């Protein structure tokens, strides 16, 4: 089981979400996040005064899935989230030990 975590541009959320569910991903978590990567924060000057813009607003998607799905999921996220421009984001793949559905107590594959 893996957790696929993707930081993407906000306006790409719908595309990514849609293609993931077509793949058979059963649920995902979406968070509005702020941060910076190569894009860095930057300074804006307005009438001589400087305003530091430290972070860039992004969307974080988290999906836990079976190993077989991971390569397809990564492929569609990359396909859909890509604009070729700066700040398209990143995808992380993280091993997951186990999952438990709180309501039923099911574990592992059944719980995702």
Q: Which residues bind another protein (CB under 8 A)?
A: 9-11, 32-34, 38-40, 44, 46-47, 49, 51, 53, 55-57, 83-87
| Residue 63: other Cβ atoms inside 10 A | 24
The angle formed by the CA atoms of residues 10, 93 and 108, to the nearest 5 degrees, is: 110
Q: Find the shortest distance in angstroms from Cβ 26 to another protein.
A: 24
Q: Find the shortest distance in angstroms from Cβ 45 to another protein.
A: 9
Q: Which two tokens stand for residue 55?
A: 């972070």
Q: Which is nearer to another protein, 45 or 68 (CB)?
A: 45
What length is written for the chain?
112
């Amino acid at each position: 089981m893996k957790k696929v975590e993707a930081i993407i541009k906000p306006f790409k959320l719908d595309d990514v979400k849609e293609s993931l569910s077509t793949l058979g991903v059963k649920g995902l978590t979406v968070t509005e996040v702020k941060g910076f990567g190569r894009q860095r924060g930057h300074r804006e000057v307005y009438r001589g005064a400087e305003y530091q813009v430290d972070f860039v607003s992004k969307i974080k998607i988290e999906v836990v899935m079976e190993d077989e799905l991971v390569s397809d999921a990564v492929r569609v996220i990359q396909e859909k989230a890509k604009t070729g421009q700066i700040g398209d984001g990143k995808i992380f793949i993280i091993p997951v030990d186990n999952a438990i559905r709180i309501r039923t107590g099911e574990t592992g594959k059944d719980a995702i």
